[in-house]
């Protein structure tokens, strides 16, 4: 099987939530000497991009997303031992969490993992994180970037509050804010004064590198 075809099958298995098939495909990738990181980014993560897009268009719902996430994790069980952090000149620390009022952490977990694989140190605060905790932990860990995630339109409104609280604490200029999640857009990021927006896992790595690199 050609690499391109294998990536496409991995992508489809994630979208279909087929965890048994994706395990076989992931092992096939390893057995054929395919780079695990490329299989993850060009196959599995692309599938999650499709899932996110379908969710936004109301073509997929939470139960289906959970199946896709389960398939993603099944692939990771096989690929993880073979992943090597990519060399990056723009390494740094990213503190990430799902804002208060939101327990949907699938996207955040995947972004967190991809950032680690991409060479970043990640401080994962988990889900339903109280807004003040982002500020308190930022003072404590001094991250280069704070990643705010939300899957609900109600919880996303906590993002500008976090930014405001950071200004009040006098640390807003010491850290970059990167936001993402199904209801988030570049327009919203601009409106609330975030430094970056990442619609997908792979794009979060690129956005983080850009923010830390200052370009």
Does 102 participate in catalysis according to the annotation?
yes
From edge to edge, which strands make up the β-sheet containing 93-99? 121-129, 93-99, 145-149, 176-180, 196-197
Annotated catalytic residue, options 19, 102, 105, 124 = 102
Asked about 104 being catalytic, the answer comes back as: yes
- Catalytic: 82? no
Bridge partner residues of 98 (DSSP): 149
Q: Per the residue annotation, which of 68, 104, 112, 149 is the catalytic one?
A: 104
CA angle 85, 88, 91 (to 5 degrees): 90
Cβ count within 10 A of residue 184: 23
Q: Which residues are known to be catalytic?
A: 102, 104, 155
């Amino acid at each position: 099987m050609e690499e391109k075809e294998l990536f496409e099958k991995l992508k489809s298995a994630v979208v279909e939530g087929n965890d048994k098939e994706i395990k076989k495909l992931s092992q096939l990738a390893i057995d054929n000497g395919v780079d695990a990181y490329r299989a993850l980014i060009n196959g599995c993560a692309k599938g999650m991009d499709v899932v996110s897009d379908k969710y936004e268009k109301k073509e997929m719902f939470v139960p289906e997303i959970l199946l896709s996430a389960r398939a993603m994790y099944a692939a990771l069980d096989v690929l993880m031992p073979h992943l090597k952090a990519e060399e990056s000149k723009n390494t740094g620390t990213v503190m990430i969490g799902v804002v208060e009022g939101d327990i949907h952490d699938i996207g955040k977990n995947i972004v967190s993992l991809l950032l680690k694989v991409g060479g970043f140190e990640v401080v994962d605060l988990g889900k339903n994180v109280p807004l003040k905790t982002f500020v308190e932990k930022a003072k404590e860990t001094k991250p280069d970037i704070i990643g705010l995630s939300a899957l609900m339109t109600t919880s996303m409104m906590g993002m500008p509050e976090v930014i405001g609280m950071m200004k009040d604490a006098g640390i807003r200029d010491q850290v970059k804010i990167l936001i993402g999640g199904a209801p988030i857009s570049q327009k919203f990021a601009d409106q609330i004064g975030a430094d970056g927006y990442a619609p997908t896992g792979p794009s979060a790595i690129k956005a983080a590198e850009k923010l830390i690199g200052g370009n």
